Structures are given as C-alpha cells and as structure tokens.
C-alpha cells in the first residue's frame, strides 16, 4: 500500500472522530493505515484519497462505511469481564430494588457499546440467576447496542469459541450454554430471547428505538472518546434512566462528572450513578 501523507491521515482521523466520536491517538496511525490498507485491497482501491472520496459519496459509500467502522473499532470483550460490577448488581442493586414495597415487575437493562454480546449475556445470566435463587418475580429485557453491525450479528447468534468461555465458571457454562461442536458453545435459547441487539451510534442517541432503563451499563467504550464527548454522551445516557435507575461505568472512565440529578455510588472499583429526579 502507498504510505499515507500527513494531510490524508488528518482527514481520516477527523472523519472517524466526527462520525464515531473515537479519537485516534497518533500512536495508532499505523493501525489506521494498516486497517485501511487491508480494506482498500479487499475492495480494489489503490489510493487513500480515492477511498476517502468513495466513503463520502452516496449510498455505496454509506454501506462501505459500516464495514470499515467495524475494522476501526476495538471489540475486545469478555464474559464476566468486570466482576466488581457483577457483584454490585447481585449484592446491592437487585436486593435493593426487589425489597421495595412495590418492586418493579420488569427490569429494562441497556448494554451500550456491547461489542459481540458477552457483556449483555453476562447481565442476562446475573438477572436470571438472581430471579431463581432469590425467588424474585420480575421479567427482564436487555437491549444491547453497538455501532458495529458485524459485532451485533455475532452477538445475535450467541455462538462463542470455547476460548471465550475460559473465565466462565463451569456451573455457569453448564447452565447457560449448549455445546455446538468440539470448540463452540451457544448461549441457551431462552436467554438469547431476552437480549435484543440493535445498531446505535452513541453520537446519535435521539435515534434510539427504546424507552427508559433501570440499568445502563457502559464500560470500555468511553475511553476511546475525548473528555468533552464523554460528558456529552453521559448527559444523554442519563436522560434514558428511570428515576432510581443506575448508570454503571468502569472506574476512571470519567472524572469530575457529577450532575446534581445523580447520586454517586462507589462499589469496590465500580463507578455508578443513581438517578434521583426527573432530568
């Protein structure tokens, strides 16, 4: 592939930031050129500028962008990735909600930037398990959204390589997964039915097709955005929290953000905010 001139690099960097919110640090320049190069070879472009113009132009460019964005975003994720958050849901939030005089009959949960679905399925397992062991009577639904169509398709299938299940306890694996072949497992059907995957760019939140949430789980996505954008996204996310609903972030994902409508909850290294009043 040709080397990338500085002005082309800046054009691409700005386009990605404008459309996805992701800020590419200069150390990731070679990642950008390699990813673009591979995709350009696949679709038959030899110049970054021609490919850039193609992306900006018309329907075909829009379709191509959806593939490219998948190559440029980081999809690393795991089942039970952040155990302190899982513990907070099990030991603090669910017991609290279910011991209210009128516990909610339905819990709506949103995994934002869900990648290939491991986070959403983890939440489903936690909610399912709690319902059984604590005899709580609720229905739950999980919305899992991401910008990457390819990741959502993987999530929807719910088939994972056994390597991906290494951190899943045996009992949980036996209970919630069905073996597909020597190396793959699929999430149990009834659990998959509880998770609805939807494409959503967090910069276009007004287009979201769903209502208010009891819990919004947003981890390892904000870190790719600059501080201003993180605040903008969080301010928007909390508009979709039910009163009393909780936004769960990873520790250190935002500093100095504490709107008066929210109460901060610190649970081990989980950072969460409870909505107090109507926003």
Ligand X SMILES: C[S@@+](CC[C@H](N)C(=O)[O-])C[C@H]1O[C@@H](n2cnc3c(N)ncnc32)[C@H](O)[C@@H]1O
Where does this chain bind ligand X (CB under 6 A)? 20-22, 73-77, 81, 113-115, 119, 146-148, 151, 201-203, 219-221, 224
Instruction: Pick between residue 63 and residue 276 the one whose CB is nearest to ligand X.
Output: 63
Instruction: Pick between residue 36 and residue 136 the one whose CB is nearest to ligand X.
Output: 36
HSE, CB side, 13 Å, CA atoms: give it for residue 16. Answer: 25
Task: Extract the tokens encoding 29.
Answer: 């320049």
To the nearest whole angstrom, how small is the minimum distance from the Cβ of residue 269 to ligand X?
14
The DSSP 8-state label assigned to residue 22 in this structure reads: B
Instruction: Pick between residue 136 and residue 249 the one whose CB is nearest to ligand X.
Output: 249
- Distance, in Å, from the CA atom of 199 to the CA atom of 122, rounded to the nearest integer, reads 19
- Distance, in Å, from the CA atom of 176 to the CA atom of 156, rounded to the nearest integer, reads 15
Between strands 241-250 and 213-218, the pairing is: parallel
HSE, CB side, 13 Å, CA atoms: give it for residue 150. Answer: 13
- Distance, in Å, from the CA atom of 157 to the CA atom of 155, rounded to the nearest integer, reads 5
To the nearest whole angstrom, how small is the minimum distance from the Cβ of residue 253 to ligand X?
10
How far is the first Cα of the chain from the last one, in angstroms, to the nearest whole number?
Answer: 51
Q: What is the CA radius of gyration of the chain?
A: 20
List Cβ neighbours of 246 (8 Å cut-off, separation of 6 or more).
93, 214, 215, 216, 265, 272, 273, 274, 275
Instruction: Pick between residue 94 and residue 203 the one whose CB is nearest to ligand X.
Output: 203
Instruction: Pick between residue 45 and residue 121 the one whose CB is nearest to ligand X.
Output: 121
To the nearest whole angstrom, how small is the minimum distance from the Cβ of residue 5 to ligand X?
26
Instruction: Pick between residue 4 and residue 146 the one whose CB is nearest to ligand X.
Output: 146
* Cα 143–Cα 267–Cα 87 angle in degrees, nearest 5: 55
Instruction: Pick between residue 119 and residue 214 the one whose CB is nearest to ligand X.
Output: 119
C-beta of residue 233 within 8 angstroms of C-beta of residue 221: no
To the nearest whole angstrom, how small is the minimum distance from the Cβ of residue 40 to ligand X?
21
Would the CA dihedral through 219, 221, 224, 229 be positive or negative? negative
Instruction: Pick between residue 136 and residue 213 the one whose CB is nearest to ligand X.
Output: 213
């Amino acid at each position: 592939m040709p080397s990338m001139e500085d002005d082309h690099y800046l054009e691409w960097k700005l386009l990605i930031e404008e459309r996805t919110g992701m800020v590419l640090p200069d150390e990731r320049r070679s990642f950008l050129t390699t990813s673009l190069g591979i995709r350009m070879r696949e679709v038959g472009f030899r110049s970054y500028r021609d490919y850039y113009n193609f992306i900006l132009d018309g329907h075909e460019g829009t379709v191509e962008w959806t593939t490219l964005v998948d190559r440029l975003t980081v999809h690393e994720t795991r089942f039970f990735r952040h155990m302190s958050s899982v513990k907070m849901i099990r030991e603090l939030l669910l017991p609290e909600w279910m011991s209210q005089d009128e516990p909610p009959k339905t819990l709506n949960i949103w995994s934002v930037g869900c990648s290939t679905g491991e986070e959403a399925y983890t939440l489903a397992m936690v909610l399912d398990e709690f319902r059984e062991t604590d005899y709580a009577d609720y229905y739950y639904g999980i919305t899992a959204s991401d910008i990457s169509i390819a990741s959502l398709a993987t999530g929807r299938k719910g088939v994972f390589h056994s390597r991906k299940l290494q951190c899943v306890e045996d009992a949980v694996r036996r209970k919630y997964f069905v073996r597909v072949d020597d190396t793959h497992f699929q999430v149990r059907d009834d659990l998959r039915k509880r998770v609805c995957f939807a494409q959503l760019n967090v910069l276009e939140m007004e287009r979201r097709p769903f209502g208010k949430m009891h819990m919004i789980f947003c981890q390892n996505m904000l870190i790719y955005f600059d501080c201003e954008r993180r605040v903008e996204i969080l301010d928007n996310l909390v508009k979709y929290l039910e009163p009393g609903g909780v936004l769960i972030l990873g520790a250190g994902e935002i500093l100095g953000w504490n709107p008066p409508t929210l109460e901060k909850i610190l649970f081990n290294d989980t950072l969460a905010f409870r909505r107090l009043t109507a926003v």
